[in-house]
Structure 1
Amino acid sequence: MSGEAKRRLRMKIGIIGAGQIGGTLTRRLSELGHDVRVSNSRSPETLADLANDTGATAVWAKDAAADADLVIVSIPQKNVPDLAAGIVDARKPGAPVIETNNYYPQQRDGEIAAIEDGQVESAWVAEQIGAPVYKVFNGIWWKHLLQSGAPSGAPNRIALPVAGEDGPGRDLVHGIVDQLGFEPVDAGPISESWRQQPGTPVYGKDFDADDTRTALAEATAERTSEWTARAS
């Protein structure tokens, strides 16, 4: 079986967070035929409308990752420490974990000292949940994620940077990005994922693959005044 065929097999996907990005991924991945379980910080009953609209199964957050081939964490950064211990541990062995989060210190999250002191946002998330992560979907507007996908090879196809370790997990994540209609771009390891954080040249842009690579290369690690809680 080809790698492409394997990527298009129906997968069990657990999504923790049902906001604009998590809810949109629930909708799109269900449309692609995947078995999606979605959760929020409340009870499954509060997701009845989303479940009815998409065919996804609403579950408690602690159950979202059970036996999953892929887990997606998409919640406000400040709420990550509130997740149950071992929240993603019940996924299948080797199943990748995507985190779509952004640190918005002035706009929503308040100060997270470790990040302000220099820890990369996604490395902080990985530390909190006790599992390595891939960073993707953090810089695209949810409406474009819902509506702007295009087939592989389409001109000016929107590219999405993917940071994380190489190997089968990256292959699976790249395959999901491609299925959703976007061009996956290798953005290096999580230690380099600051290149796609808020305030960087690629963040919030609908660049193609070449322009995405250029923007990642032009990023600087220093936080601008808009994206720090310690602005003077």
Structure 2
Amino acid sequence: MRIGILGSGLMGAGLGRLWALCDHDVTFSYARSRHKLERLARESGSAQGTVAETVATSEVLLLAVHWSRIDDVLEQAGELDGKPVLNCCVPLNDRNSELVLGTTTSGAEELARRRPRAGWVSCFNTTPSESFAPVFARKGKAPAPQVLVCGDDPDAKTIAGGLIRDIGFTPLEAGRLRNARFIEPFAMATAELAYAQPGGPALTYRFEKLRG
């Protein structure tokens, strides 16, 4: 699958590298320097390009930028008509200390309003990037850790589920995109557990329904 990465920080770079190892055709775009994109592409055997080029040539996109960069990346990306877009952005302030949207809307819903003809799927935003490599290394061992997934486009969610499994996680169905208004605050809880509590940042989770 041709995957375009819009954003080359810890989330975008981490997922892009692993998808490249799964033999997907990955293109990295949107970084503070062209040198960084060239290095990512070289190290992972992938491609790099402008945002517009990446959108045009990709079958599916990952949006992985800081919320303060959303306006800029969307302007460069265009309308995204018909594109499945996996969104792992959390609507945080510049200090990453507070949500700037919540309870009555969400970052995911705001993105869908701005690009309504894209197939938006919210995922990976409650999963620290430090967990990606160790989960990938244990891929295939049960039970797999989960990734919360919400969205309104069934086909886009199917694609997202496959890419989540490629990394070694299992998708956990969390309903419609409007549920992102409750999931995005949970990202603040996972960040607290990963970065402020003992044990290191490679945090994963599983929810289980008890029967009987």
Q: TM-score, normalised by structure 2?
A: 0.80
Aligned equivalent of 2:15: 25
Check conservation: 1:76, 1:101, Cα contact below 8 A: yes
Match of 1:196 among 161, 183, 199: 183
Q: CA deviation at 1:110?
A: 7.8
Structure 2 partner of 1:143 = 130
Deviation of the 1:43 alpha carbon: 5.2
Contact 2:119 2:156 in 1 (8 A): no
Question: In the alignment, what sits opposite 2:163?
Answer: 176
Structure 2 letter corresponding to 1:73: L
Find the counterpart in structure 2 of residue 217 from structure 1: none
Whether 2:115 is the aligned partner of 1:125: answer no
For 2:195, the equivalent position in structure 1 comes to none
**Any idea what SS the aligned residue of 2:61 has?**
strand
Q: CA deviation at 1:86?
A: 6.9
- Give CA deviations for 1:137-163 in whole Å, capped at 9, x if unaligned: 1111111012223444x3332100111
Percent identity, aligned pairs only? 19
Number of residue pairs matched by the alignment: 197
Q: Is the 8 A contact 1:98 1:134 kept in 2?
A: yes
What secondary structure is seen at the aligned counterpart in 1 of 2:185?
Answer: coil
**Alignment pair present for 1:53 and 2:43:** yes
Q: Is the 8 A contact 2:5 2:16 kept in 1?
A: yes
Gaps of 5+ in 2: 192-202
SS of match in other structure, 2:62? strand
Query: How far off its partner does 1:13 sit?
Result: 0.5
Structure 1 residues 117 and 183: alpha-carbon distance in aligned structure 2, compared to 1, 3 A threshold: closer
Distance (Å, rounded) in 1 between the aligned partners of 2:75 and 2:208: 40
Aligned-partner SS, 2:57? coil
Q: Does the CA-based 8 Å contact 1:135-1:164 persist in structure 2?
A: yes
Return the alpha-carbon distance in structure 2 between the equivalents of residues 146 and 70 of structure 1. 22
* Aligned-residue RMSD, C-alpha: 2.8
CA distance in 1, matches of 2:98, 2:172: 31
Tell me the distance in 2 between the aligned counterparts of 1:67 and 1:81. 21
1:83 aligned partner = 73
Q: For 1:144, give the aligned amino acid.
A: S
Q: Structure 2: how far apart are the matches of 1:49 and 1:86?
A: 22
In the other structure, the counterpart of 1:222 is none
Please list, as runs of the form range in 1=range in 2, the aligned pairs for 1:1-20 lying within 5 A after superposition.
11-20=1-10
Query: How far apart are 1:84 and its partner, in Å?
Result: 4.4
- CA shift, 1:102, in A, is 0.8
Does the Cα contact within 8 Å between 2:119 and 2:153 map onto a contact in 1?
A: no
- Per the TM alignment, residue 14 of structure 1 is displaced from its structure 2 partner at its CA by 0.5
Alignment of 1:108-123 (within 5 A): 108=96, 112=100, 115=101, 118-123=104-109
Letter in 2 for 1:142: S
For residue 68 of structure 1, what is the amino acid of its counterpart?
A: S
The aligned counterpart of 1:167 is 154
User: Structure 1: which 5+ runs fail to align?
Assistant: 1-10, 214-232
Q: TM-score, normalised by structure 1?
A: 0.74
